[in-house]
């Protein structure tokens, strides 16, 4: 038949959808690659005798506000004291 099976508008939408999905997929691949790089850094550090869990804790702590952290530590120690954990 001479009539196209899909209208121009439908074709356009189709391409748009495909484009969205593929952009996300490409970004997800990049994100995964970086996550793998991070794992590799920790694995190498571990091989050199570092404690990966402690390294992760350090990274997390450096992101936090120092004042907020200090305050939290104070509360925590108060509770631990009251519970005989110190």
Catalog residues that contact a second copy under the rule CB under 8 A: 13-14, 16-18, 20-21, 23-25, 27-28, 30-31, 34-35, 37-38, 41-42, 45, 48, 50-51, 53-55, 57-59, 61-62, 72, 75-76, 79-80, 82-83, 85
CA angle 8, 13, 19 (to 5 degrees): 125
Is the CB of 2 or the CB of 27 nearer to a second copy?
27
What count of residues does the chain have?
86
User: With respect to DNA, which residue has the nearer C-beta, 43 or 80?
Assistant: 43
Using the 8-state DSSP alphabet, how is residue 5 labeled? S
The token duo for 57 is 């804790």
């Amino acid at each position: 038949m001479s009539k196209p099976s899909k209208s121009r508008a439908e074709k356009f939408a189709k391409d748009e959808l495909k484009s969205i999905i593929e952009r996300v997929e490409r970004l997800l691949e990049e994100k995964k690659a970086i996550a793998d790089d991070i794992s590799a850094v920790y694995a190498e550090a571990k091989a050199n005798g570092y404690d990966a869990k402690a390294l992760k804790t350090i990274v997390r702590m450096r992101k936090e506000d120092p004042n907020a952290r200090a305050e939290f530590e104070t509360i925590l120690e108060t509770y631990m004291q009251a519970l005989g954990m110190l």
